[in-house]
Amino acid sequence: MNSNNNYNNDSSSEDDLQVYETLTKVAPPNELLPRKLTIDIDVKSLYPLKPLPQFCKTYMTFFEESLQRECSIPDIQVTDENRTLLDYYEENKQNLVYKRFDQLDLGKRTSNDRTYFASLLANFKRTQPRVFFRGEALFDQKLTPCPSDQIQFDSNFESGNLFCAFKKAENVYDLIIQNDINTRGNTQWFFFSITGAKAGQTIQFNILNHLKTGSLFNEGLQPAVYSVKENQLVGTEWCRDGFNISYFKSVFMKEYPLSLKKKYYQLRFHYTFKHEGDKVYFAHSFPYTYTNLLEFLNTLLEDQERNQYLSRKVLCTTLGGNTCEVLTITSNSLQKRAFRKGVVFLARQHPGEPQASYVMQGIIDFLTSNNPQAEYLRQNCIFKIFPMMNSDGVVNGNYRCGLEGSDLNRRWKKPNKYLHPSVYYAKKYIKGFSKERQILLVVDLHGHSRKQSSFVYGCAYSSQVKTIERVFALLMSKVNPFMDYSSCTFRVESAKDKTARIQLWRELKINWVYTYECSFYGQQKKHYQIKDYLNCGVSICNALSQIVKDTSKEFTNQANQPDIQQQMLEELGKMPQTDDQDIGSDSSQSEAELSDDELVQLFQPKTYSIKQKNLLKQQETNNKKKLQQPNSNLKSTIASQKASILQESPSKNSEQKPPMSSQKPKNPLYRIQAPLRVRQLDQVKQPETPLMVDKSVQTDDWMYRQWLIQMGKLKKQQEFQSFTPTRNIYKSSSQSVTRFIVKNSTMKNDRGRVDSISLMASGLQNKLISSSQQRQMMRYSGSNFMS
């Protein structure tokens, strides 16, 4: 099948190679201006954000506090009722201690049944996007003032997403995390801070509105914790802490839709504060913000040794105004440049998976180092790196989506230039890169919240274990102690057909296209540390260097070296057959996306899909009908008139015939001829004052008359079937059974004459046909040449 059928109109409107050459073209040097290597750190959010501490200056090992400590706080028993978060607020609004915006009226209900408790909608129809909450615009943000003797929550910083907090009891707090922007769900990532706690104070946190039905928190995963005072005293960075952790079904129903009665899931954990007046951050995993990326790139660009291998370009500007960077890493030498393989790395399509950025940082840091393996890769490969595809989602604290409210990793089949600019231009850039040189490997980095270890998703049509698509995955598991090959799957699922992995594999015909997943937890009940994620990136590069050496033997004098690919294939052949079932899939929840009638009110018309455009046309038609029907009496009169016609007019394709005169009809109006019946209906229904005619009634009446004509034709054809051959009468040829010759005549009683040239059926020539029958035959056979 031609792969061009998979391209959309926008994606094929421009030449891929031209876009690639435009983005990779080097501007001429200007000797008067000094070269600026660093990037301006300009993070744009939908609302003002506070700066975060300088996390992860050093990557030190830490001790996991995994001991099960007893907690004196009693569990609060709740009944399993069908309540929503809005009902919970009405019952506990006097206990509210924090809400992200001071202007939020959490008790307000919308006019329809779509009151999403923790959703913020961003309207992009104007130049500057405006944030709305249940129909009201937000202009400023302020923390809700809290008494000094209570702990204070905060999430108004980059990647923060705590929506509101309630004090349920002494040292017990219920938290609600914010939905992804322009969605009604996708709540799994959390990031907030607490100040004002006393040393030794133990607090129970209940996060009420998690999305997924299963979590690694029940298998030993602990929240990520950062203490500012602990860092100042002993230099401790992010660590895993917390105890009495459980993840279970919540009593609160989801708002979309209520009829399904699906429940949220709740995370409960305890934490004991160690210092007085400390500020402690809590997160699902070790955060990696957009600012962290820009600062890391600036350190590389300022390094005189590293920046000679690294160049950066702005791929595009995102919907929120941030930039999407594309990096190129290769050797400056022109030797064998035309024979260098292409390698592509992508990360952070899902903003709530920060471990992907740590793996990417390990890759970039290794490839720009003086390591001999890195030097070999730079001489034999050109690396195209997209370090943060969804910078808007990272900045605004989303878990899975961008500001347009959709999963970017489900938009690679037909990306929209305006709604998904990073995906649109990244796809064109990669396709243009593939026309310049052979792409050897594509890796899309992600995090997994329901499985341990690290593993890959690959593509393969065959279910056999001995395939070329599995070779590089097996090799990575050999050199990476954190990777488990038994957890890898190689399938092309219909639910993931629009992902980057499957679309690039299909369109570019690349064997090694993988989605690399790193667990939020770790391996064998042991937490991953930040340095472990960095080492995963280094291991990918080490495996790649072995493959590159294996594929470049024809250009070197290493023909006597063993074939790595052949060794991997032989080892794969010894493995047992697997069914490649992915038990813990992290596929997106489409039910959390807004409906089409909600999306068309948030974005410009150039971003609408065909379905959304048809929806707008239907709404405009309905509005015109309402304007043409000013009072209810008129509506009821036309509705009854329409119902009476519809009751008597069957479908056009229906084979039902009107009852014959010999039979007793169910409706006495059938005995009246069609024109007379319509006149009688008009006399009965027509009021004294003139009425506005409904177009739909006219259409139904016209369809009814057309139905009568068609039924008459069918009846006449059946009556003369024995006299008329069933072949085509329009073509005149010697091969036809019967040829009709129509001639004009001055006789009024005989307007046309049919001459029988040849009748194949025996006995038909002796049968006589009257002139009236001839006229009826010509009239109902669909002919249009009678005078």
* 342: enclosing H helix or E strand: strand 341-347
CA angle 93–94–100, rounded 5-degree value: 55
> In Å, how far are 162, 268, 279, 610 from 228, measured between CA atoms?
19, 23, 6, 51
**Cα distance between residue 787 and residue 17, in whole Å:** 63
> Which 8-state DSSP code applies to residue 182?
T
353 is known as an active-site residue:
no
- The radius of gyration of the chain's CA atoms, rounded to the nearest angstrom, is 36
Do 289 and 388 contact (CB within 8 A), yes or no? no
DSSP-based three-state secondary structure for 316: strand
Distances (CA, A) of 103 to 130, 132, 134, 144, 328: 14, 11, 12, 9, 45
With CA atoms as reference, report the closest residue to 458 among 469, 442, 450, 449. 469
Residue 285 near residue 530, CB atoms below 8 Å:
no
Q: How far apart are CA 40 and CA 294, in angstroms?
A: 8
The bridge status of strand 162-169 relative to strand 202-210 is unpaired
- Measured CA to CA, the distance from residue 136 to residue 103 in angstroms comes to 9
Catalytic choice (255, 404, 517, 593): 517
Helices and strands of the chain, counted as H and E runs: 19, 24
What is the rounded distance in angstroms from the CA atom of residue 410 to the CA atom of residue 413? 8
CA angle 655, 658, 660 (to 5 degrees): 125
Residue 266 · residue 172 · CB < 8 Å: no
Written as six digits, the tokens of 293 are 């990326």
CA–CA dist 216, 542 (Å, integer) = 30
Residue 570, classified by CB atoms within 10 Å of its CB into exposed (0-12), middle (13-18) or buried (19+), is: exposed
| 394/396 Cα distance (integer angstroms) | 6
Q: How many residues does the chain have?
A: 787
- The sign of the dihedral angle between the CA atoms of 19, 23, 29, 30 is positive
Secondary structure, 3-state, 69-96: CCCCCCCCCCCCCCECHHHHHHHHHHHE
Could you give the CA distance from residue 783 to residue 777 in angstroms, rounded to a whole number?
Answer: 9
Report, as residue numbers or ranges, the catalytic residues.
517
